[in-house]
Amino acid sequence: MTITEHIHQDRLEVRFKGILDHTVGPACERAIRHAHALGHKRLQLNLADVTAVEKVSLGTLCFALHTVRQLGIEGTVLNAPDDIKTILSELDSTAIGRC
């Protein structure tokens, strides 16, 4: 999986490419630290280029969204694959951005 961070004026966007696997945890942790340090109030996880999803990554993704909100940062998932979109929408409809 390839992970890139894109710093915008009002948000931090993290783009994932390839298979969403166990490395999503450290990537989200790093992104949360960066967003918090930069004073951003929005963190977007862009899954447009994700080709497959390992089950372990889904729980980690949900935990990351929960953690961001605990810090007062708006966390959204963009362009989620259907399997992730379904699960996230059942947990919290505000977690899904432009799907």
Burial class (CB in 10 A: 0-12, 13-18, 19+), 80: buried
With 50 as the cut, is the pLDDT of residue 99 above it? no
Provide the percentage of residues in the chain whose pLDDT is more than 70.
Answer: 91
Note the pTM of the prediction, 2 decimals: 0.84
- Identify the CATH number of the domain defined by range 2-95: 3.30.750.24
pLDDT of residue 78: 93
With 80 as the cut, is the pLDDT of residue 88 above it? no
With 50 as the cut, is the pLDDT of residue 12 above it? yes
